[in-house]
Structures are given as C-alpha cells and as structure tokens.
C-alpha cells in the first residue's frame, strides 16, 4: 500500500510554474491618439452595439486570440526550421478560465514578442490606421463591417476590450537572450510595460472579464465557441487542461494521404450526418486564388420532405471558420453539397460587404465549375451510379439548368432523361442521345407527358419510331422549363415532338 502511495505521488503533470513577477520599473506609455480612438470605438461603440447585435458577436475575441496564438506558433515552427530558437516547449495553446475571478487566460508557446514588437504591434493602428481608417471605423462601427476591420488590420487583440476592462500580457520572444515583459492597461488612456521574470517563451493574455461578459469564463461556452470557429486550428488547444480541437482539418492534407474512412468520419462530423457520402471531391488550387476544399454528396437528401436545405458548405480561412453554411460560396441549386472550402485569401472576418466582393465571387465561380465538372467526371466513371444519384438529386440539377446561365453548358451535361430507347427507369444523357441520332437529324426531339405510359401510347411516338428517330421522355413540369431555358445542346436544337417545327422536319 505504502509503495502505491509513493508511486502515486510522482504526479505526471509538469511542475507548476511560479507566477510571473515584475522585476524592472514600470514605464507608463500614453496610447497614441489613433490607438486611443480605436480602443474606445472597439470597447464602446461595438460594446454598446452588443445588445443589438446577434448574441455572441463579442465571442469574436476568442477566435481572434486563438488565431493570433496559432500565427505565433506557426512563426515559431517556421523559425525553428530555419535557425536555433530558445523554445523547447510543445507548440500548443492553453486556455484557462476562472469563474470566481471572472478571468479568461490564453497562453501560447509561440514566437512571442520583443519589447520593440510589443510597442510596435500596439502601434499597428498608428502605422496602418491613418485618419481615414479611423473615420471609416467610427462611421462603420455599427454596420457589420466592424468584424472585418478588426480581423483585417491584425488588430484582433483589441477585440479583448469588448469583454475585458483589465488586460495583462506576459510575453517573451523566442529569440535567444530575450527578456520577459509584462504589458498591462485598463484600456483608458495609457499602458505600462515592465520587465518580468518567470515569463515563458510565447504570449500569455490575462483578461479580467466585465460583469456582463462573465459568460466567457464558462468552460461550456468557450468549448462550444472553439468547436464552432477554431476546431481546425493546426495546434492543440487545451481548455482547462482538456484538448478541445480533435478533428483533423482534412482539407489541408494532400489528396493521396486521406483514406476513405477518414473522409467518411469527416463528412459525418461536418455534415452532422449519419449516412456516408456517395461522392467525395478533394480539390486544391493556388490560382486564381488559393483554395483547399473537401466536398461531399450525401447518400440521401432531406428536401423531398419539404423543408428547404440550407447551404451545406462552410467557408474557412486558414483553418478558422468564417461563414458556417455560407450562401455566397455555391449557387443555391448546389445546396445539397456538404463540406469545407478554405481560402487564405479571405481576410479572417469576412463581412456582408465582402460577400459581394470580387474575392468571394471569384471563389464562387471557380468552385461552381469545379463541382459541375466533378459530377460529370463521376457520371463518366460510373453511369449507373450517376443515374441513381440523378433519380434522387436531379431536381437540383434541373433547378440549375433553369437559373444558372453562366454554367449552362456544364449543367446540361449532367441532365438525364428516359427516352424511347431506354428501358423504363433507365436514363440517358443529351450527349448519348446526340451520339445515337441519325446523320441528317438536326434536332433533339422530346415529348412532355406525365408518365412513360402516356408517352408510349402517343401517336407521335408511333411516327418517330417508324422513322427510327429517338424521343426523349420528359415527365416533370420543371422539364419544360429546362428545355426552354436550354433551347439547344452542343449546337443541336431541342424541339418538342408535337410542335409545328417537328411537323416541318423533312426527316419525319
């Protein structure tokens, strides 16, 4: 028994670090006027907006601080590969909360800041924030572009002033021989900087939360925020000692190294689904913009039950969630596609304005044609499987044929119909129809009837059969809109069998 007690006493966790202690004198610095204006805009106007704004808007500070920490870890990982650095700690992010003290602490073992960087980074606004920037911020403060501005100028750190009234930053650069510093402020007019000892390499930010932001000291709250926005950050995030982000950002891996099993699990996680994907697309490109994406077509869709599906693809930027189920990413008719698109060209916090911005629309163009080509490739690989897909998902493709003029050609290739030469229930494509038409046949002929039986009993079918001309059978009301919108395929006109144009065709 004694032996066990002895063994048990060798605890596994690292010895508790002594707290940081100030060693040098505290130098008081006046915030630059621009910085001061920015601080009270962020802390006040955005802060006052908080009741009006959607709940949890101020949770942006969690995303921002995790993103800064991840950047700092990335910089250290890169620097370590280049030269010797003073860091031997594992690259990780630790968040610890104290509900009683209403305290939120985030610590990274990243590259850390020198005294110059500390002062310089704070002055970011002063340098990049000319008067116009601040005027824009003051004007736009409430218009929803604020998240864009906070993320954009790397001033994510300032978002802490929305939820905290006392901020302490301990930091030590990984550059050999660097000293540790303690920066602190109450966000009013000045900040102090002092040398400190026992400061680990990296950065630790201690936020005393405001009374009405104390929910950010709750583990449940922070756990769900991390899982939603920062689940795929490339470094382990520990919340009160428990690792939170455990699902791999599959899209960052190269195509060959991801197994079908991993895709299945990832699909189920991001689509919140219980079935398996029937199609998987893992697509990466660097031009015209950087894109890493994994997209899936589910086995089944729920829309036949009536409720309209919301878009299934989420937009990430450098593994941080920007827009869950983003409407701007793919056209509405592709809302059945699930997955992730990550583009580091998108500033961390895209806002409504950016949705119309050319980056998003270019991303949308590239992704839409890739998805359409992907489906066409799958159809060629396995026509039977594609026909089964089309029986269930054809309604979406037909919606696209009626609405998306820009991708009309690619969509037309994906259409399938029964015809006078297929068995009941079997489908054929316009391409295959063209491949079978008579040499001097100038048109693709179709018959609109609600059911195959009516098509086969139609006098037109009798006449076309006699002439050896194949008829497409169109059963859905939407089909009429499709062929009217399409009007031709690969230069061959689409003509109704019972139209005057057909009657005038010498072939018939």
- What does the binding site for ligand FE6 look like in residue numbers (CB under 6 A)? 68-69, 72, 108, 110-113, 118, 121-122, 157, 169, 183, 203, 205
- C-beta of 152 vs 203, nearer to ligand FE6: 203
DSSP assignment letter at 326: -
Nearer to ligand FE6, 205 or 233 (CB): 205
Write b or e for each residue in 460-498: b if 16 or more Cβ atoms lie within 10 A of its Cβ, otherwise e.
bbeebeeeebbbbbbbeeebeebbebbeebeeeebbbbe
Nearer to ligand FE6, 183 or 389 (CB): 183
Closest approach, Cβ 215 to ligand FE6, in A, equals: 22
Which C-beta is closer to ligand FE6: that of 121 or that of 395?
Answer: 121
Grouping H, G, I as helix, E, B as strand and the rest as coil, residue 249 is coil
Q: What is the rounded (10 degree) CA torsion for 81, 82, 83, 89? A: -30
Angle of the 131-140 helix axis to the 33-40 helix axis, nearest 10: 10
Closer of 192 and 369 to ligand FE6 (Cβ): 192
CB of 162 to ligand FE6, least distance (A): 15
Task: Specify the residue, 147 or 410, whose C-beta has the smaller distance to ligand FE6.
Answer: 147
- Cβ proximity to ligand FE6: between 80 and 121 the closer is 121
CB of 25 to ligand FE6, least distance (A): 18
Instruction: Specify the residue, 111 or 320, whose C-beta has the smaller distance to ligand FE6.
Output: 111
Q: Among 103, 140, 132, which residue's Cα sits nearest to residue 34?
A: 132
Distance of CA 470 to the CA centre of its chain: 46
The rounded distance, in Å, linking the Cα atoms of 422 and 417 is: 9
At closest approach, how far in Å is the CB of 9 from ligand FE6? 35
Of the pair 115, 402, the CB lying nearest ligand FE6 is at 115
CB of 146 to ligand FE6, least distance (A): 18
Alpha-carbon distance of 141 to 81, in angstroms, equals: 41
Which residues on adjacent β-strands are paired with residue 203? Answer: 108, 171
Closest distance to ligand FE6 from the beta carbon of 201 (Å): 10
CB of residue 105 to ligand FE6, shortest distance in Å? 12
User: At its nearest, how many Å lie between ligand FE6 and the CB of residue 289?
Assistant: 26
Distance, CA of 139 to CA of 160 (rounded, Å): 21
Which helix (H) or strand (E) element contains residue 248? none
Closest separation between CB of residue 265 and ligand FE6, Å?
A: 31
- Of 147, 192, 158, the closest CA to residue 37 belongs to 158
Residue with tokens 């998902």: 393
**Strand 190-197 with 242-243, pairing:** unpaired
Strand residues in 198-254 grouped as ranges (E): 202-209, 237-239, 242-243
**Beta strands per DSSP E along 99-233:** 103-108, 164-172, 180-185, 190-197, 202-209
Which residue lies nearest ligand FE6, judged by its C-beta?
Answer: 72
Output 46 or 206, the one with its CB closest to ligand FE6.
206
Q: Note the Cα 36 to chain centre separation in Å.
A: 33
Nearest Cα to Cα of residue 348 among 71, 162, 147: 147
Pick the closest to residue 62 from 117, 105, 111, 122 (CA basis): 105
- Shortest Å distance, C-beta 83 to ligand FE6: 17
Q: Least distance from C-beta 95 to ligand FE6, angstroms?
A: 12
In the bound complex, what is the minimum distance in angstroms from residue 164's beta carbon to ligand FE6?
A: 12
Locus of tokens 């000045």: 190
Judged by beta carbon, residue 168 or residue 408, the one nearer ligand FE6 is 168
Please say which residue, 72 or 281, places its beta carbon nearer to ligand FE6: 72
> What value does the CA radius of gyration of the chain take, rounded to a whole number of Å?
30
CA distances from residue 91 to 24, 78, 261, 420, 436 in whole angstroms, order as listed: 29, 12, 28, 65, 62
Cis peptide before 288 (omega within 30 of 0): yes
């Amino acid at each position: 028994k004694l032996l066990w007690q002895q063994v048990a006493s060798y605890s596994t966790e690292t010895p508790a670090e002594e707290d940081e202690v100030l060693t040098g004198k505290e130098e008081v610095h006046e915030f630059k006027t621009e910085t001061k204006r920015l601080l009270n805009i962020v802390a006040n106007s955005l802060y006052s907006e908080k009741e009006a704004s959607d709940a949890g808007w101020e949770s942006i500070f969690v995303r921002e601080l995790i993103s800064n920490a991840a950047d700092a870890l990335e910089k250290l990982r890169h620097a370590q590969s280049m030269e010797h650095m003073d860091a031997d700690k594992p690259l990780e992010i630790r968040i610890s909360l104290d509900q009683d003290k209403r305290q939120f602490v985030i610590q990274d073992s990243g590259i850390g800041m020198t005294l110059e960087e500390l002062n310089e980074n704070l002055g970011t606004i002063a340098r990049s924030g000319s008067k116009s920037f601040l005027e824009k911020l003051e004007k736009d403060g409430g218009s929803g572009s604020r998240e864009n501005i906070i993320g954009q100028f790397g001033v994510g750190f300032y978002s802490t002033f929305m939820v905290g009234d006392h901020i302490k930053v301990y930091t030590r650069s990984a550059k050999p021989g660097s000293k540790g510093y303690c920066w602190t402020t109450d966000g009013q007019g000045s900040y102090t900087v002092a040398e400190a000892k026992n400061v680990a390499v990296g950065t630790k930010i201690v936020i005393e939360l405001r009374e009405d932001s104390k929910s950010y000291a709750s583990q449940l709250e922070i756990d769900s925020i991390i899982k939603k926005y920062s689940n795929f950050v490339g470094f382990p995030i520990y919340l009160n000692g428990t690792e939170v982000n455990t699902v791999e950002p599959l899209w960052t891996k190269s195509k060959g190294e991801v197994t079908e099993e991993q895709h299945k699990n990832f699909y189920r996680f991001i689509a919140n689904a219980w079935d398996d994907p029937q199609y998987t697309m893992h697509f990466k490109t660097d031009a015209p913009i950087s894109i890493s994406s994994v997209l899936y077509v589910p086995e089944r869709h729920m829309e036949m039950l009536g409720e309209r599906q919301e878009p299934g693809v989420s937009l990430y930027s450098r593994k941080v969630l920007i827009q869950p189920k983003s409407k701007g990413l793919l056209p509405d008719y592709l809302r059945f596609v699930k997955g992730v698109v990550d583009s580091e060209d998108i500033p961390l916090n895209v806002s409504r304005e950016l949705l119309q911005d050319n980056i998003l629309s270019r991303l949308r163009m590239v992704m839409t044609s890739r998805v359409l080509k992907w489906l066409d490739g799958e159809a060629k690989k396995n026509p039977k499987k594609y026909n089964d897909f089309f029986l269930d998902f054809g309604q979406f493709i037909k919606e696209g044929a009626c609405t998306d003029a820009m991708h009309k050609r690619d969509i037309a290739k994906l259409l399938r119909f029964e015809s006078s030469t297929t068995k009941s229930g079997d489908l054929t494509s316009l391409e295959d129809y063209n491949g079978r038409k008579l040499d001097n046949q100038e048109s693709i002929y179709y018959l609109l009837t609600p059911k195959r039986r009516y098509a086969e009993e139609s006098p037109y079918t009798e006449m076309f059969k006699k002439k050896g001309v194949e008829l497409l059978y169109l059963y859905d009301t939407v089909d009429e809109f499709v062929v009217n919108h399409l009007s031709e395929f690969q230069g061959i006109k689409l003509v109704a069998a019972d139209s005057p144009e057909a009657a005038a065709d010498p072939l018939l």
